[in-house]
Chains A and B, each alone.
Chain A
Amino acid sequence: MTKKYAFYVLLIVAVMLAACGPAATPAPEEPMPEAPTQAPPEATEAPAMEEKASFAFELVAEDDGASPEGAAAVANKLVADPTFVAMGGHAFSGATAAAIPIYEAAGIPMLSPSATNPDLTKSGSAVFNRNAFTDVEQAKAAAEFIFNNLGFTKLAAMHDGGDYGQGLAQLVADNFTAMGGEVVAFEAITPGETDYTAVLSAVAAKSPEVLYFGGYNAEGAVITNQMAQSGLEGVVFFGCDGTFGADFLEKTGANGEGAYATTLVPASSPEKDAFDAAYTERFGVAPGVLSPYSWNAFDAGNALMTAVTQVAVVSADGEPEACASDAFGCAVIEPGQTIKVGYSGPITGDYAAFGQDMSQAMMIAVDAFPPIEGEGTLYIPRGALVTAVRTMSDFQGIAGTITCQENGECNASGPVLYVIQDGVWTPAAR
């Protein structure tokens, strides 16, 4: 007995050793001392000063578990790194709200691809921007479309109990009532369950004409599948940007016919196709399957790096003028170091698909972005970078144009409504 016991202990310890041993050894945040050995033969031939340095971008993807607590830990960790300059996140609104004050204090510009809660830009933060459209815009567009174009007057609003879904459903309901429609039911589900027919039957008893759902793809698909059997035959399923996605078609089959969703997924363009191909090749799934925000995340990464390129100064003789006058000083990148751009979202846990998807999309953006070339050391004035992101205009991304307003709303394209016709997503006629 004890021998066996010892044996299993050893087994697991061995795995741990293999797993943790090497991980514990590196001192990650140190500027790598071995860096100069990178090209020793050249260094002996020519003085280092005249060498053309190349400053590449690097993505630091962190796991905040979609929780405010995790987000604050991530933010605090990242701002401690002197070579960290910009944040392409966070993913979820609650987490973002907790992280904003920390980036605010450190002068790190944010550009979130997916935090859609309207309140985030209301607090007057100088650093927070997003290229996701807000729930306000989306809710207004959806409510108007339902009331005016579809001509429905009885709406049932449902959500998944999360801050995204609940906020959105509430806004749609408010807009719809203001227009003169009637909200006959307002219910919530618990994500991850197998059978929603009970709550759907309760909604059906109020005989709505359309069912609006604020939440994500998976629950949206289950609801769509279970609507007919709960007495909601012929009732239109109206989703949001969270429910849009290629796999929604796959998951709902014939049941999904006629379902609506909002999205900013672009029409096909050479850039989009190139990104789709690169993503599929590298990660084995098509973008949009794990979460609907792949394209947004790719754009956010590119926009941030473009802004960095605009303000960065390479100088061989000491700190440039811009640093001294900058409110937050400069990020100083020595040759051999990389410019760190962050991403933070739930990489583990229930919503892991979202975080992993966006970090993968950003990884593609970061790895393909050309490095900054020059002689000497790279200086990035942080305050100027914050301003550069906030004043960005007409940045052409694959998911639409990014033009930041004074409050940090950068999505200039607005939501597009899609409907499933004959098994494919087609833009809905206004």
Chain B
Amino acid sequence: MSMTKSSVQPIQKPWTSGRVIRLVLAIIVIALLLWRLYTVLVVQADYGPETWVRFSISGLIIGGMYALIAIGYTLVYGILFMINFAHGEVMMIGAFGGYFIFELLSSIVLSNGQTFNDANPALSIILAFAAGGTASAVAGYFLERIAYRPLRKAPRLILLITAIGASTFLQNAAMLLFGPQRRDYTNPEALTRGSGWTVVINNSNVTLTYTGVMSFVLSIILMAALYYIVQRTKLGRAMRAVSQDKNSAALMGIDVDDVISKTFIISGLLAGAAGVMWGIHNGLVNHYTGFLPGIKAFTAAVLGGIGNIPGAMVGGMVLGIVESVGPAALGLDFQLKDVIAFTILILMLLFRPSGLLGEALTEEKL
């Protein structure tokens, strides 16, 4: 047995033009990268260690939010094989949910003259996240029921267009309901933007903002919870089964429509949480808030390997870090950070066509 096995010649991959070009490209890119890194870090050395730490903090905070939204794309993709283009808008609705809770709570004045918001920061934050998550989950649920479910058997491109239509609709509905101006999130006093713990690095104060730390920690907790649900619970098992094979899952007694609904609810919850974080951290929300993070998170999901949940988490974090560290490391303008992010995405897909952690998709899935 072993003899025959070893005697088989390993199949030589043909040197197709695409492969040659890719190899040449890779060498050029790596050489360029090394040269840039060398000039920036050693020759110019513009940035001290405190600046690099600041870049990384910024990256982790944004990365956490991207990851939460990206999970939504990935969950839906894993089950329906569709790009849920309206997911960014679902997040925007969650941001508004949190906004209204904070407005409500800060309008309640307690006997000691403080607002409810300032007096019970922990409770208000929990309420805001609950409201934001619920708003997004409801939005996600109805989105699926009204716009996607009737098209279960349609080709995937049709679903993509429906999602684009739904995205336009939701965006404009929010504009008409709440007005076009950016609304100011009323954080509890404990979470005042810009305040935080200070660490001294290289004689300079590096601030870990409360809002940033809270966003990051919460996104990690939510991701862990999601991972637990998907891997350990009955619902998670059903979700995985449906994403593997809908017909067989149905034969095993799984209510496929119900699982899909729940998937949309879970991805809505995560997006809503990200929306509230967005509002708390940056302070401003309007109807357009969801568009940019939507596109970014989609990129993150693909970067990590779309359909793969840990991939979305890693992809989100990597994207966040690349955006905040990349331009400085390459000595480019920060305006070009999206160019760097997309270039890295393209290059990565050339060598790992299914994303960082994605398994190679079979033909039928594509």
On whether A and B touch (CB less than 8 Å), the answer reads yes
Structural contact, A187 and B333, CB atoms closer than 8 A: yes
Contacts between the two chains (Cβ within 8 Å), count: 132
A233 and B198 CA atoms in complex are apart in Å by: 13
Structural contact, B181 and A230, CB atoms closer than 8 A: no
Question: Among the interface residues A205, A218, A229, which one has the most CB atoms of the partner chain B within 10 A?
Answer: A229
Size class of the contact patch on chain A: 35 or more
Structural contact, A231 and B283, CB atoms closer than 8 A: no
| Known interface pairs A202-B51, A348-B172, A348-B175; A356-B194 also in contact (CB < 8 Å) | no
Structural contact, A5 and B150, CB atoms closer than 8 A: yes
Task: Pick the contact of A251: B47, B48, B51, B283 (CB < 8 A).
Answer: B283
Q: B146 an interface residue at 8 Å Cβ cutoff?
A: yes
| Known interface pairs A188-B334, A352-B175; A231-B51 also in contact (CB < 8 Å) | yes
Structural contact, B65 and A194, CB atoms closer than 8 A: yes
| Known interface pairs A187-B333, A205-B48; A8-B146 also in contact (CB < 8 Å) | yes
* Interface positions of A (Cβ within 8 A of B): 4-5, 8-9, 12, 161, 187-190, 192-195, 197-199, 201-202, 204-206, 217-218, 221-222, 225-226, 228-231, 233, 247, 250-251, 253-255, 285, 289-290, 348-350, 352-353, 356
A254 and B338 CA atoms in complex are apart in Å by: 32
Which residues of B lie under 8 Å from residue A190 when comparing CB positions?
292, 335, 337-338
Structural contact, A202 and B334, CB atoms closer than 8 A: yes
Structural contact, B292 and A353, CB atoms closer than 8 A: no
Question: Among the interface residues B286, B287, B289, B334, which one has the most CB atoms of the partner chain A within 10 A?
Answer: B334
Which residues of A lie under 8 Å from residue B284 when comparing CB positions?
218, 221-222, 251
For this complex, 8 residue pairs linking A to B, each with C-beta atoms less than 8 Å apart, are A192-B289, A194-B278, A197-B57, A205-B46, A217-B182, A218-B182, A225-B193, A255-B194
Task: Pick the contact of B61: A195, A206, A221, A289 (CB < 8 A).
Answer: A195
Structural contact, B182 and A161, CB atoms closer than 8 A: no
Which residues of A lie under 8 Å from residue B283 when comparing CB positions?
221-222, 225, 251
Structural contact, A192 and B58, CB atoms closer than 8 A: no
B191-238 interface (Cβ within 8 A of A): 192-194, 196, 204-207, 209, 212
Which residues of A lie under 8 Å from residue B48 when comparing CB positions?
205
Tell me how far the C-beta of A296 lies from the nearest C-beta in chain B, rounded to whole angstroms. 18
Tell me how far the C-beta of B63 lies from the nearest C-beta in chain A, rounded to whole angstroms. 10
Structural contact, B335 and A188, CB atoms closer than 8 A: yes
Tell me how far the C-beta of B40 lies from the nearest C-beta in chain A, rounded to whole angstroms. 11
Q: Which residue of A lies closest to B320 (CB)?
A: A195
Q: B54 an interface residue at 8 Å Cβ cutoff?
A: yes
Q: Which residue of B lies closest to A224 (CB)?
A: B194
Tell me how far the C-beta of A114 lies from the nearest C-beta in chain B, rounded to whole angstroms. 15
Structural contact, B184 and A247, CB atoms closer than 8 A: yes
Structural contact, A198 and B288, CB atoms closer than 8 A: no
A356 and B286 CA atoms in complex are apart in Å by: 14
Which residues of B lie under 8 Å from residue A5 when comparing CB positions?
150
Structural contact, B146 and A201, CB atoms closer than 8 A: no
- Give 16 A-B pairs besides A228-B194, A350-B291 with Cβ atoms closer than 8 angstroms: A190-B335, A193-B292, A194-B65, A194-B278, A195-B324, A201-B47, A201-B51, A221-B283, A221-B284, A222-B282, A228-B207, A231-B206, A289-B181, A350-B288, A353-B181, A353-B182
Which residues of A lie under 8 Å from residue B65 when comparing CB positions?
194
Tell me how far the C-beta of B192 lies from the nearest C-beta in chain A, rounded to whole angstroms. 7
Q: B89 an interface residue at 8 Å Cβ cutoff?
A: no
A161 and B334 CA atoms in complex are apart in Å by: 11
Q: B118 an interface residue at 8 Å Cβ cutoff?
A: no
Tell me how far the C-beta of B194 lies from the nearest C-beta in chain A, rounded to whole angstroms. 5
A233 and B195 CA atoms in complex are apart in Å by: 12
Structural contact, A195 and B180, CB atoms closer than 8 A: no
Structural contact, B338 and A229, CB atoms closer than 8 A: no
| Known interface pairs A187-B335, A350-B288; A202-B282 also in contact (CB < 8 Å) | no
Q: B62 an interface residue at 8 Å Cβ cutoff?
A: yes
Tell me how far the C-beta of B338 lies from the nearest C-beta in chain A, rounded to whole angstroms. 7
Tell me how far the C-beta of A271 lies from the nearest C-beta in chain B, rounded to whole angstroms. 25
| Known interface pairs A194-B65, A197-B54, A230-B54; A356-B180 also in contact (CB < 8 Å) | yes
Structural contact, A202 and B328, CB atoms closer than 8 A: yes
The 10 closest A-B pairs by CB, nearest first: A198-B324, A352-B180, A188-B335, A194-B282, A229-B207, A201-B54, A199-B334, A353-B180, A198-B58, A5-B150
B307-335 interface (Cβ within 8 A of A): 323-325, 327-328, 333-335
| Known interface pairs A190-B292, A348-B175; A251-B194 also in contact (CB < 8 Å) | no
A274 and B277 CA atoms in complex are apart in Å by: 40
Tell me how far the C-beta of A143 lies from the nearest C-beta in chain B, rounded to whole angstroms. 22
Question: Among the interface residues A194, A285, A352, which one has the most CB atoms of the partner chain B within 10 A?
Answer: A194
Question: Among the interface residues B180, B212, B286, which one has the most CB atoms of the partner chain A within 10 A?
Answer: B180
Which residues of A lie under 8 Å from residue B206 when comparing CB positions?
231
A350 and B180 CA atoms in complex are apart in Å by: 8
Which residues of B lie under 8 Å from residue A250 when comparing CB positions?
184
Which residues of A lie under 8 Å from residue B51 when comparing CB positions?
201-202, 204-205, 231
A352 and B177 CA atoms in complex are apart in Å by: 13
Task: Pick the contact of A226: B181, B192, B194, B288 (CB < 8 A).
Answer: B194
Q: B281 an interface residue at 8 Å Cβ cutoff?
A: yes
Task: Pick the contact of B180: A4, A9, A197, A290 (CB < 8 A).
Answer: A290
Task: Pick the contact of B335: A161, A233, A349, A350 (CB < 8 A).
Answer: A161
| Known interface pairs A230-B54, A356-B180; A194-B335 also in contact (CB < 8 Å) | no
A192 and B50 CA atoms in complex are apart in Å by: 26
Which residues of A lie under 8 Å from residue B293 when comparing CB positions?
194
Structural contact, B209 and A253, CB atoms closer than 8 A: no
Q: Which residue of A lies closest to B338 (CB)?
A: A190
B137-167 CB mask vs A (1 if < 8 Å, else 0) is: 0000000001000100000000000000000
A381 and B355 CA atoms in complex are apart in Å by: 66
Tell me how far the C-beta of A175 lies from the nearest C-beta in chain B, rounded to whole angstroms. 21
Structural contact, A290 and B54, CB atoms closer than 8 A: no
Q: B59 an interface residue at 8 Å Cβ cutoff?
A: yes
Structural contact, B193 and A255, CB atoms closer than 8 A: yes
Structural contact, A192 and B59, CB atoms closer than 8 A: no
Which residues of A lie under 8 Å from residue B205 when comparing CB positions?
231, 233
